[in-house]
Amino acid sequence: MALPQVVLPTYELEIPSNGKKIKYRPFVVKEEKLLLLALESEDSTQIESAVKQLLKGCIQSRIKLDDLAIFDLEYIFLQIRAVSVGEVVEMTITCQDDGTTKVRYNLNLLEVRVQKPEGHSNKIMLTDDMGIVMKYPKFDTFVAGSIIGTQPTADSVVDIISGCIDQIFDGEDVYDSSTTSKKEFGQFLENLTNSQFEKIQKFFESAPKLEHTVKIQNPNTGVENEVVFSGLSSFFG
C-alpha cells in the first residue's frame, strides 16, 4: 500500500516590482538537499540550476524567473526560506556605539520588505542630449551575488552594467538592447568619463533593495543602536 502524501501549505506574496500576487509553498528536504549539494560543489552552473529548480518548484503561479529583478528574487527566496525553515532567525549583533558588545536579536523574516528609495529613476542623463535607460540585474546576478556571494571585479562590473542597459539615446537616435550587443554596450561604458560612470553606479546604489532596520539597546552603555540589514546574505549572518 502506498504511503500517504504530505499536503504542503500554500502562501501568497506580492512581487515588489510589479505588485503581482503569486502563490508559493515551502521547499522540501530533497529540494534543500539538491541546493546544498550544488553549493558544496562550488560550480556556478550547478548552483544556478539548483536555485532555479527550487524556485520553480516552490512557486505555484505562472511566472518567468529570468524576467524578475534581483530584489524580487531575493524577496521571494527569503519568504520561501521563512516558511520552510522558520520565520525567526537568531542573530548576534555588535553594538555600534562601542564596537564590542554583542547582543542577541530574534529577527522575523516575514517582516522584511523591499525598500524603494524616493527619487530613484532608471533614466540617467550623461550629457544634455545623451543618456541611458537602465533595467535591473536579473537571475544570474542574483545567484552569483546573493547565493554564492561572489564579489564583482572591475571587469565583471562593466559586464553586469552592460547587461542592464535597456537603451542608449542621443537626441532622437535610440540604440536598443534588442539591436545592440552587450559587447557594444560594454565598449560604450569604457569610453565614459569617471563622473559619467559614477552616475550609472548611483543607479545601482539607490536601487530598491531588501532592507530592514532594527533598534537594539547596548546593555553595558544604555545607548540605543540602529542597525540596518541590507541584501539577502545579511539576514543569515
The residue type found at 122 is N
What φ, ψ does residue 14 adopt, rounded to 5°?
Answer: -110, 125
Q: How many residues does the chain have?
A: 237
What's residue 223's pLDDT?
Answer: 96
Q: What's the pTM value of the predicted model, to 2 decimals?
A: 0.87
- Do 201 and 128 sit in the same domain of this protein? yes
Residues 131 and 185 in one domain: yes
Residue 4 lies in a domain: no
In the chain, the percentage of residues whose pLDDT exceeds 70 is: 99
Q: Does residue 24 sit in the same domain as residue 55?
A: yes
Q: Which residue has the higher pLDDT, 20 or 4?
A: 20
- One-letter amino acid at 132 equals I
Concatenated DSSP letters for 142-163? IIIIIII-PPP-HHHHHHHHHH
85-128 pLDDT, tens digit each: 999 999 999 999 999 999 999 999 999 999 998 989 999 999 99
Please tell me the distance from the alpha carbon of residue 169 to that of residue 175, in angstroms, as a whole number.
6
Residue 5 falls inside a structural domain? no
Give the pLDDT confidence of 200-225 residue by residue, as tens digits: 999 999 999 999 999 999 999 999 99
Is position 61 within any domain?
A: yes
Q: How much is the pLDDT for 140?
A: 84
Range of the domain at 191: 123-137+147-205
182 pLDDT band, cuts 50/70/90, is very high
Residue 236 clears pLDDT 80, i.e. is over it: no
> CA-CA distance, 191 to 201, in Å (whole number)?
15
In a domain, 3, yes or no: no
Reported as a single tens digit per residue, the pLDDT across 28-62 is 999 999 888 988 888 888 888 899 999 999 999 99
Task: For residue 149, name the pLDDT band (cuts at 50, 70, 90).
Answer: confident
Report if residue 6 sits inside a domain.
no
Residues 106 and 218 in one domain: yes
Domain count, the chain: 3
The per-type count for the chain, helices as H runs and strands as E runs, is 7, 11
